[in-house]
Amino acid sequence: MKTDGETPALSFARRVAILVCVVLTVTLYFTTLMIASTVLPQIQGGLSATADEVSWVMTFNLLATAVGTPTAGWLVARFGRRNVMVTCMGLFTVATLGCAMSDSLSVLIFWRIVQGATGAPTVPIAQSILLDAFPKRQHRMALGCFGMGVVIGPIIGPTIGGYIAESSGWQSAFLLLVPISAAAMLALRFFLPPDEARPPVRLDWVGFISLSVAVSCLQLVLARGPRLDWYDSTEIMVETFIGVLSFYFFITHSLTAQQPFLNLKLLLNRNLAVGYVLVGIFGMLNFAPMVLLPPLLRVYAGFPDGLVGEIIGARGLGGLCGFFLAMFIGRLDARVSMSIGFIMQVVSGLWLMSMDYNVTALGLSINVAVQGAAVGFVWIPLSIATFSDIPPKQLPEATGMFHLIRNITASLFISLCIAEIINSTGTNYARMTEFINEYNHAFYSGWDLNSLDGIAKVAKEINKQAALIGYLNAFGLYTFASAIAIPFCFLLSTPRSNASERTS
C-alpha cells in the first residue's frame, strides 16, 4: 500500500469495488464517444440535417474531449479526485439524457459538447486512481482491467448502438446508457476514498486557453480537412495558422511561467517522454482499423451490417484474451511484451495489405482478434513503464497528457488514412479507365460497353477496385506505424520499475 499519506489504507474488497466502478465509468465514456458514429445516418434523417451538418455531432464532441482531457490535473488539485469524478459523471449522465431527448440538431450538438467535456477528465483521473489505490505489484492487474474498458467501449458502442438504433430509433441508443451512468456515479460517490482538504490552486488561464485553442484548431483541421480538400480551403488555412500560433504561445508561456497549466519539465523524465511517443503510435493503431474496415466491408465487399458488427466485435474478444495473458506474463521485460504486441500489429497489417474482395468473415475475425490481443500486450506494460517514476501528486497531470496525445494521434492518423483512400481511389480510377477501350480485347469481351447500363456496371467495378487499392495503401500506413514503434520500446528504462514492483 501507499505509505506517503496520499491515500488511506484500503481493504481488498474496497479496491475491487473501486476497480469495478472506475472501469465501468471509462467503458461508458468510450461507448458514448463512438456510439454516435453508428447512428449518424438515423440522426441525419430524423433531424433533417445535411451530411456536413450532422458531422458536427462527432466533431464538437471530439473538440470538447480534446479540451477537457488536459484539465484533469488542475481539477484534481483544486477539487479532489472523488469530487471531480462524481461531478463529472453526474453531468455526463445528464448530458447523455439530453442527447436522448434532443429534438433538433443544435440541441444535440450542445449536449454532445457537454458529454465530451465532462466525460474526458474521468479517463486520466481513473487511471491515476488505480495507480494510487493498488500497490505496484498489482498495477499490472489493475491496468489490465482498465485497458479492457478503453478497448471494449469503442466496440460496444458501434455494435450494440447499431442494433438498438435500427429497432427503436437513435434516441434509444443514448437512453439505454442513462441508468447505467447514474449507477456508476453513485458507485463512485460511495466507494472512492474521501478527498482531503486542499489549498486553493490558481488556474493558469493563459496556458489553458492557448492549449485549448491549439488543440481545438488541430481537431477542426483533422475533422474538416478531408471534406474541404485540405489547404485548398481558406477555413483550413486559417485554423492551421491560429493553431500553430497558439501552440507556440503555449510552449513559450509554459517554459517561463512559475506555475504553468501543464508542467513541461515532466518530459525530462525519460520513461514519460518515450511513453508519450509510444502512446501516440498506440492511438494511431487502436482506432484506425475500427474506422476503416466497416465502410470497406459494407459498401464495397457487400457484407451485411450484422456480420460487420460481429467481425469488429472479435476485436473485443481478442482484447480480453490479450489483457488476460498480459496479466500473467508480468515476469517478462516490459519492452519485450510491448515489442510482441507491435509485431502482432505488423503481422496483422501485412495480412490486411494482401486482402481482396474474396476475403472470408472468419479470416477477418481472426485478423481483428489478433489486433485486439496486441493491444493487451502493449497497454499494460506501456502504462506501467510510463508512470513508474512519477510522484502521485503529478499523476493526474501526466495521465491527462497521456490520453490527450492518444486521442490526437488517433484523429490525425484516421484523417491521414481517409485522405490516402480518397486520393488513391481517384488516381487509380483515372488510370484504370485508360485501359477501357475497344483495343483491350481481354477486358472488352467480358463487359457490355454498348449500353448505358453496361457502362455503369464497368464504372462501378472500376471504382470498387480503385477503392480497394486506397484501403490497401491505408493498411500499409498502419503496418509502417506498427513497425516504427518497435525500436522505441527499447528506449524505455524498466529495471528500476521492475525492481520496485518485486519489492512492493
Alpha helices in 257-301 (DSSP H): 270-295
C-alpha dihedral over 330, 336, 337, 339, to 10 degrees?
170
Please indicate, yes or no, if residue 273 is contained in any of the structural domains: no
- Domain closes at, from 194, 224, 252: 194
* Sequential pLDDT tens for the chain (504 residues): 343 334 456 777 888 888 888 888 888 887 887 777 667 667 877 777 776 677 678 777 877 887 788 788 778 878 888 889 999 999 999 999 998 888 888 889 899 989 988 988 888 888 888 878 888 777 777 777 777 776 666 666 666 766 676 677 788 888 888 998 999 999 988 888 887 766 666 767 787 788 888 877 887 787 777 777 778 888 889 989 998 998 898 888 888 877 777 777 778 888 888 988 999 899 888 778 877 887 788 778 888 766 776 787 787 778 778 777 776 665 667 788 888 889 999 999 999 998 888 888 888 889 988 988 888 788 888 888 888 787 877 777 787 778 778 877 887 787 788 888 888 888 888 888 777 766 666 665 556 666 677 777 777 888 888 889 999 999 999 999 999 999 998 888 764 444 444 333
CA-CA distance, 338 to 489, in Å (whole number)?
Answer: 7
Residues 181, 289 within the same domain: no
Domain boundary residue, one of 146, 177, 194? 194
Total of domains in the chain: 2
Whether 422 is covered by a domain: the verdict is: yes
The residue segments making up the domain with residue 6 are 1-194
Q: Are residues 350 and 485 in the same domain?
A: yes
Query: What's the confidence (pLDDT) of residue 82?
Result: 87
> Which one of 159, 194, 229 terminates a domain?
194
Question: In which element (H, E) is residue 144 found?
Answer: helix 139-168
Task: Tell me how far the alpha carbon of residue 392 is from its chain's centroid.
Answer: 25
| 184 lies in the same domain as 294 | no
Angle at 372 between CA 368 and CA 375, to 5 degrees: 140
Domain annotation covers residue 409: yes
pTM (2 d.p.): 0.76
Claim to verify: residue 298 and residue 405 sit in the same structural domain: yes
Cα gap 315→312, rounded to integer Å? 6
Is there a domain that residue 218 lies in?
no
Together in a domain, 366 and 503? yes
Asked, for residue 390, whether it belongs to a domain, the answer is: yes
Residue 265 lies in a domain: no
Instruction: Calculate the CA 397 to chain-centre distance.
Output: 19
Residues 189 and 304 in one domain: no
User: Residues near 257 by Cβ (< 8 Å), separated by ≥ 6?
Assistant: 204, 206, 207
User: For residue 37, what pLDDT is reported?
Assistant: 67
What is the Cα–Cα distance from 36 to 122, expressed in whole angstroms?
19
Q: Are residues 6 and 109 in the same domain?
A: yes
Residue 187 lies in a domain: yes
- Rounded Cα–Cα distance for residues 504 and 493 (Å): 19
Q: What is the CATH number of the domain that holds 493?
A: 1.20.1250.20
The amino acid occupying position 12 is F
Asked, for residue 116, whether it belongs to a domain, the answer is yes
| Same domain, yes or no: 374 and 476 | yes
